[in-house]
Structures are given as C-alpha cells and as structure tokens.
Structure 1
Amino acid sequence: SPFGGPSRRPWASEAGAEMEKRRKRLLWRAKARGWLELDVLMGTFVAKHISGFDEEKLDLLEEVLDLENPDLFKWFTGQVAVPEEIKGNEVMAMMLEFVKSDHKDGLNDK
C-alpha cells in the first residue's frame, strides 16, 4: 500500500479499484470529445450506463470512444448508415438506441 504497511485489501478489491479507475477514465473521454453535441450525448450515455459495465463492455466502450467524431456525428444524426461491423458492437448499438429514443433533438446538424 502506498501509505506504508501491508495492504489488507484482498485482490478482488484491487481489481475493483482498477475497474473504477478505468470507468472514470472512459467517462472523462466520453465527456471530452471536443464537440459539444457529442460531449453531452456520449457523456450522458456513459454516465448513465458505465457503472453496470463489466470488462467486456468497457472494452467495447473503448472501441466506440476510439472512433472519429465526424463519423459518430453522421451516424448519430442518421446522415450516414452505420457500418455493420460497428453496429455489431453492443455498446454502440445501445448508444444508437439511446440517441434515437431520447436525444435526437440534441444533435443539430453541423
């Protein structure tokens, strides 16, 4: 433990702490896209769902966060069809559903 003396926390809580750090980092990335509409949309979605995401879903979320803003914007606004391989990402599918159901009006065409 960084505070001196042996850590009494079992390994499981170490892993839990790592997951928590990772969740915070991914949430920050979702909110800091640099495009206001995407910051709000993705930040809101991630804040709402991330606490229930396991490792696998966090990996999928990371894939979504690695995508380019202009592409995400076009897909979310329906200007361009979402490629099948991207739609196959479960978190992306959830996000598209989230946009359709609640937040379409938050995305004004750039």
Structure 2
Amino acid sequence: MGVEMAAGEDISIRRKRLKYRAWHRGTKEMDLILGPFADANVDGYDEGELDRLEALMNEEDPPLLKWVMGQEEPPANVDRDFLALVVADHQARIAK
C-alpha cells in the first residue's frame, strides 16, 4: 500500500536505525562500545555485514559486555569473528 523505497534508501534507513540502537542499548557500557563501533563502520557495511552486526546487537547486554571484556567465552551460536572486530575496535579506542 505504501510507497516502495529503492534498495539504497532501505539500506540507508537500516544503517541509521542500527547506529541509533548501538547508542541506546540500555546500559551505558555497551552504548560506549557499540556506539562508536557502529559510527565508524556501519556506513561501509553491506547487507551481510549489517546482518552480522544486528545479530550481535540482538544479544543481551550483560553477557555481551562479558564477552567484549574477555570475562566469558561466547556460546557457539555467536559470530566470534564479528565479535572480534568489536573487541579490537573497543581496545583500540581505550588505548588512545
């Protein structure tokens, strides 16, 4: 019924939504980890990479924070390669 958007508009809206979600997690610690990561990377991500970020962001904050901080190993269903990108980004930011 509504006006269909071009694929580029769809991905643009999705990127904006993911950036917003990254900064409004519910816990300040995860906001400060995922927000800067999303700001730095989302605009260059394709649909597949956005899917990977979204899957990670669907995890609850307490376990996600423990995985990022290296306090616990994530379960097998978590995309560890993508999580490693988030961890490396966070470590680079705190090292500055």
Aligned identity (percent) is: 34
**Offset at residue 99 of structure 1 (A):** 2.0
1:53 to 45, 52, 56: 45
CA distances 1:43-88 after superposition (whole Å, capped 9, x unpaired): 0000000011000001001101100100111111221123344244
Check the 8 A contact 2:19/2:35 in 1, yes or no: yes
Does 2:60 correspond to 1:68? yes
The normalised TM-score by structure 1 is 0.74
Show the counterpart of 1:7.
none
Q: Helix, strand or coil for the counterpart of 2:26?
A: coil
Residue 101 of structure 1: CA displacement? 2.8
Pairwise CA RMSD: 2.3
Q: Which residue of 23, 26, 37 maps to 2:18? A: 26
CA distance in structure 2 between the aligned counterparts of 1:21 and 1:98, rounded to whole angstroms: 24
Q: Is the 8 A contact 2:56 2:79 kept in 1?
A: no
Structure 2: which 5+ runs fail to align?
Answer: none
Give me the TM-score of the superposition, normalised by structure 2: 0.83
2:27 to 29, 35, 39: 35
Q: Secondary structure at the match of 2:72?
A: coil
Counterpart residue number, 1:96: 87
Give the number of aligned pairs. Answer: 94
- C-alpha contact (below 8 Å) 1:30/1:65 kept by paired residues: yes
Structure (1 or 2) with the larger CA radius of gyration: 1
